[in-house]
């Protein structure tokens, strides 16, 4: 029930606590207000229990000193204020004093919405994790929804654009003249900062839930020396093919069928001796 015993409200000031540049934004709000007696209109001096609500967020301050009507508290001192409260831009602050709700609610204006500096344009930062389209990101960079990259992408510290390689890693590159003038290509590139040719390579693997260790099944590899393995990650020649079935199955090979009839094609296979 709304109360007419207490009235707030000749003044109420809201602000985000300040921080040094580079630090994470504190999820706290500093609030100062004035509390008057509803009957006499005189400022109160007393100790009061305040409860503050913003949406589903609730925090209690049990022993707040009110001196000549003035009080000051830091919201979020006991219960962090979630960024998601400000997603709909309609957050209001409800205040209860000794269990009695003060009317009207306090509209949250521009200063508290500085929280949005931590979630601008659907970008959220929490616990040093960045989320795009994800309010509570679980990874260092967590994206939900379709994405378009206009530049090169590097992994494990590899410079995505430089021609000189200084670290082991991997990168995706777009080259509009790779095959000749205006003949473009999408490049998958393994880098090695220790030697001329990468000692590793590029692997295409499948992984299912079968097996206790969840080991990947190698579909194809391209090693740093140019050897290609299909069904093996250790190719012995420029093209090495083995069956993707059971390790004991030694049948492998190539089959070329120019039409629907297998009798007119070329069948090259190896068999166990």
* pLDDT confidence of residue 66: 93
Are residues 191 and 244 part of one domain? no
How far is the C-alpha of 197 from the C-alpha of 174, rounded, in Å? 21
Among residues 116, 136, 158, the one where a domain terminates is: 116
Average pLDDT over residues 115-137: 74
Peptide bond preceding 146: is omega within 30 degrees of 0, i.e. cis?
no
pTM for this structure? 0.46
**Are residues 164 and 153 in contact, defined by beta-carbon separation less than 8 angstroms?**
no
Check whether 4 has a pLDDT greater than 50.
Answer: no
Is the model's pLDDT at 196 over the cut of 80? no
* pLDDT band at residue 63 using 50, 70 and 90 as cut-offs: very high
134 is a domain residue: no
Same domain, 20 and 10: yes
Mean pLDDT in residue range 44-62? 92
Residue 127 falls within a domain, yes or no?
Answer: no
In a domain, 142, yes or no: no
Shared domain check, 19 and 110: yes
Tell me whether residue 147 is exposed, middle or buried, using C-beta atoms within 10 angstroms of its C-beta: 0 to 12, 13 to 18, 19 or more: exposed
Domain assignment present for 34: yes
Whether 16 shows a pLDDT value over 50: the answer reads no
Burial class of residue 35 in the structure, from the number of CB atoms within 10 Å of its CB (0-12 exposed, 13-18 middle, 19+ buried): buried
Place of tokens 């001096």: 45
Q: How confident is the model at residue 150 (pLDDT cuts 50, 70, 90)?
A: confident
Confidence check: pLDDT of 127 > 90: no
pLDDT range class, residue 32, cuts 50, 70, 90: confident
Q: What is the pLDDT of residue 244?
A: 55
Better-scored residue on pLDDT, 152 or 40: 40
User: Residue 60: is its pLDDT beyond 90?
Assistant: yes
149 pLDDT exceeds 70? yes
Residues 62 and 19 in one domain: yes
- In a domain, residue 190? The reply is yes
Residues 12 and 88 in one domain: yes
**Is 99 in the same domain as 191?**
no
CATH of the domain at 64: 2.60.40
pLDDT classification of 5: cutoffs 50, 70, 90: very low
Q: Which residue has the higher pLDDT, 3 or 74?
A: 74
Confidence (pLDDT) at 151: 75
Whether residue 239 sits in one domain with residue 183:
no
Q: How confident is the model at residue 209 (pLDDT cuts 50, 70, 90)?
A: low
Q: Does residue 155 lie within any of the structural domains? A: yes
Q: Within a domain: residue 88?
A: yes
In a domain, 216, yes or no: yes
Q: Are 48 and 91 members of one domain?
A: yes
More confident residue, 207 or 177: 177
> Does residue 115 register a pLDDT over 60?
no
Residue 78 CB: number of other CB atoms within 10 A?
10
pLDDT given for residue 268 in this prediction: 60
Mean pLDDT estimate for the chain? 75
Quick one: tokens of 74? 């830091």
What's the pLDDT at 7?
46
Q: How far is CA 34 from CA 9, 73, 103, 180, 211, in A?
A: 6, 12, 14, 75, 67
Domain extent, residue 161, equals 148-199
- Same-domain check for residues 49 and 28: yes
Percent of the chain with pLDDT strictly greater than 70: 70
pLDDT at 45 over 90: yes
217, 169: one domain? no
Pair (211, 195) in one structural domain: no
Q: Which residue has the tokens 């589903």?
A: 56
User: How confident is the model at residue 263, as a pLDDT?
Assistant: 55
DSSP string, the chain: -B-SSEEEEEEEEEEEPP--TTSPPP--EEEEEEEEETTT-PBP-EEEEEEEEETTEEEEEEEEEEBTTEEEEEETSSS---GGGGTTS--EEEEEETTEE-SSPEEP-TTGGGGGGGSGGGEEEETTEEEES-SS--SSEEE-S-----S-EEETT--SS-SS--SSEEEEEEETTTTSTT--EEEEEEE-SSSSS-SSEEEEEE--S-SSS-PPEEEEEEETTS-EEES-SS-SSSEEE--SS-TT---EEEEE-SSS-GGGSEEEEE---
Report the domain count for the chain: 3
- Of 199, 231, 265, the residue that ends a domain is 199
Domain boundary among 199, 227, 262: 199
Same domain for 158 and 259, yes or no, is no
């Amino acid at each position: 029930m709304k109360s007419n015993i207490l009235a707030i409200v000749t003044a109420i000031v809201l602000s985000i606590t300040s921080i040094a540049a580079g630090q994470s934004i504190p999820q706290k709000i500093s609030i100062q207000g004035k509390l008057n007696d509803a009957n006499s209109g005189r400022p109160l001096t007393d100790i009061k229990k305040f409860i503050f609500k913003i949406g589903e967020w609730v925090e209690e301050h049990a022993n707040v000193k009110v001196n000549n009507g003035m009080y000051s508290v830091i919201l979020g001192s006991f219960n962090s204020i979630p960024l998601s409260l400000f997603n709909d831009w309609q957050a209001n602050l409800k205040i209860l004093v000794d269990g009695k709700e003060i009317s009207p609610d306090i509209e949250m204006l521009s200063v508290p919405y500085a929280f949005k500096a931590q979630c601008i344009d659907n970008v959220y930062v929490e616990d040093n994790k960045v989320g795009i389209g994800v309010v509570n990101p679980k990874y260092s960079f967590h994206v939900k929804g379709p994405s378009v990259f206009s530049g090169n992408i590097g992994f494990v510290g590899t410079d995505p654009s430089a021609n000189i390689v200084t670290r082991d890693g991997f990168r995706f590159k777009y080259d509009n003249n790779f095959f000749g003038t205006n003949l473009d290509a999408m490049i998958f590139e393994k880098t090695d900062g220790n030697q001329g040719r990468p000692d590793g390579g590029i692997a295409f693997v499948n992984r299912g839930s079968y097996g206790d260790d969840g080991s990947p099944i190698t579909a194809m590899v391209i090693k740093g020396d140019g050897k290609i393995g299909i069904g093996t990650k250790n190719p012995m020649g420029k093209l090495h093919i083995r069956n993707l079935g059971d390790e004991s199955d030694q049948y492998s090979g190539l089959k070329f069928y120019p039409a629907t009839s297998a009798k007119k094609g070329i069948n090259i296979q190896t068999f166990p001796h």
